[in-house]
Amino acid sequence: MMMTKPDTDMLEALFQGARATPPAMPQGLMDRIVADAVAQQPKAKSGGWRAIWQAIGGAPAFGGLVTATAVGFWIGVAPPSNLPDIATQIITGTAYASVDDTALPDLSAFGWDIEEG
């Protein structure tokens, strides 16, 4: 059984005909879709701390915010050994290391693939 190449010109003509007359949306369909979507949304409490708590996302989201804040503060105050200690530089008023400083740890990956060891 031999497969024949499909007639792309005929197929393109059908696509052009479909593009020329797009289907019309039934009257009121979009209004019903929006009404259904609004009905599915949780009802927000108005004002006060409960509204803020609900806007944040409740206890799970607040726990994530607290964790991210604590880790960010921890890394800022006591960074890992391969990162510059910016907090100490800010507190003591020392200048930031310049780009050509040889004491600056190499944080780029350039040349790591050709190093020995």
pLDDT digits (tens, 9 = 90+) for 54-82: 888 889 999 999 999 999 888 877 877 77
Whole-structure pTM value? 0.37
The least confident of 42-46, 67-71, 95-99 is 95-99
Crossing angle of the two packed helices 48-56 and 58-77, in degrees rounded to 10 = 70
Confidence band of 52 (pLDDT split at 50, 70, 90): confident
Residue 56 and residue 62 in contact, taking contact as beta carbons nearer than 8 Å: yes
With a CB cutoff of 8 Å and minimum separation 6, the contacts of 56 are 62, 65
